[in-house]
Every structure is written in C-alpha cells, then in structure tokens.
Amino acid sequence: MKEYTEDDIGQKFTIVTPEGTYIEQEIVRYTCFVCGESMIGTIRSAGGFAAAHKIYHEEELQLARLG
Ligand SMILES: [Zn+2]
C-alpha cells in the first residue's frame, strides 16, 4: 500500500484494492476545522476522515451539553 506524502498532493493515481479499482484518484490534504488533525490521501479517504471527525465532534459536543 502506497504511503502518500506532501509531494503526492494534486497528483492522480489508480489504486487497486480488494473492493475495486479506483481510477485516477486525486490526492488531497484535508484538515479537520474542529481539531486541526489532517491527512493526505484520496478524496474518498478524505471524505471518510471528514465524516468520522464530523460525527465524533458532534457526539463530543452533545456529551458536553449533557454533562
Ligand atoms: Zn477533528
């Protein structure tokens, strides 16, 4: 599995996984605006990262309200 670095941002790769072949995937950097964590990877994985952070931070916020 390829490890993406700063140098790969903006480049496109075709990625073969057991789930399928992802053609010409653009590599992006995504930073969570809530906690500042960031990642470099495909838009697909950035979407998963963004969604996970969104759910986590919303949950955190709700727990804080209850507490
Ligand atoms: Zn976050």
Give the separation between CA 54 and CA 62, rounded to whole angstroms: 12
Give the separation between CA 8 and CA 6, rounded to whole angstroms: 5
Number of domains into which the chain is organized: 1
**Residue list, CB under 5 A from ion ligand 1:** 32, 34-35, 53
Predicted local confidence at residue 67, as pLDDT: 73
Centre of ligand 1 from the C-alpha of residue 28, in Å: 17
- Structural domain contains residue 1: no
Enter the tokens of residue 8.
């790969």
Q: Which range marks the domain in which residue 24 is found?
A: 6-66
- Which residues are bridge partners to 26 per DSSP? 12
The whole-number average pLDDT for the span 13-20 is 94
- Structural domain contains residue 15: yes
Mean pLDDT of the chain: 95
pLDDT digits (tens, 9 = 90+) for 19-45: 999 999 999 999 999 999 999 999 999
